[in-house]
Amino acid sequence: MPTSPEASYVVFDTDAASLAHKGRLTAGLSQHLTGNVACVTFITVGELHKWAEIRSWGPRTRDELEDWLGRVFKLPYTEDVARTRGGIAARAERRGRKRPVNDTWVAACCLAFGVPLLTLNRKDFVDFAEHEGLVLLSTEEPST
């Protein structure tokens, strides 16, 4: 990851990334970008490309996705991510809370790199927050 003393990183899960690339982030979601570097995981890159295929996106929409992906930092696969994924998956399964594969990879990336996750689907990640220390950012609108 690029390092900068003033930069903080925020990982968008696939649903949040989809809204961001379409320019549809709510104020509650956008607040997490102020002063932060937007990131996605290698899993989200794959999921977004899968969506493009399934939905038969045309060249313009695919180019817009590539342009957006070019402006965000991508958390890569590393052996540390793989070890983290194996550990959290095993512990979740022992608790009787086997988690979806891609959600487990996203959580592992966040934990391995020490960055918070912005998700529209807290329920998919709350087990990792409660038992593994995954930091989940609120998607609620700021109070006025």
Q: What pLDDT sits at residue 23? A: 77
DSSP bridge pairs for 11: 39, 117
Q: What pLDDT sits at residue 73? A: 94
Contact call for residues 28 and 140 (beta carbons, < 8 A):
yes
- Order the strands of the 36-41 sheet from edge to edge: 73-75, 36-41, 8-12, 117-118, 136-137
CATH number of this structure's domain 14-137, picked from the four choices 3.80.10.10, 3.40.50.300, 3.40.50.1010, 3.30.1520.10: 3.40.50.1010
Q: What pLDDT sits at residue 143? A: 40
CA distance 2 to 9: 10
Per DSSP, 96 falls in state: T
φ/ψ of residue 73, rounded to 5: -80, 135
Mean pLDDT by 10 residues, the chain (144 residues): 62 88 72 77 95 94 92 95 98 94 97 94 94 86 40
CA distance 19 to 122: 16
CA distance 28 to 140: 5
Domain ranges of the chain: 14-137
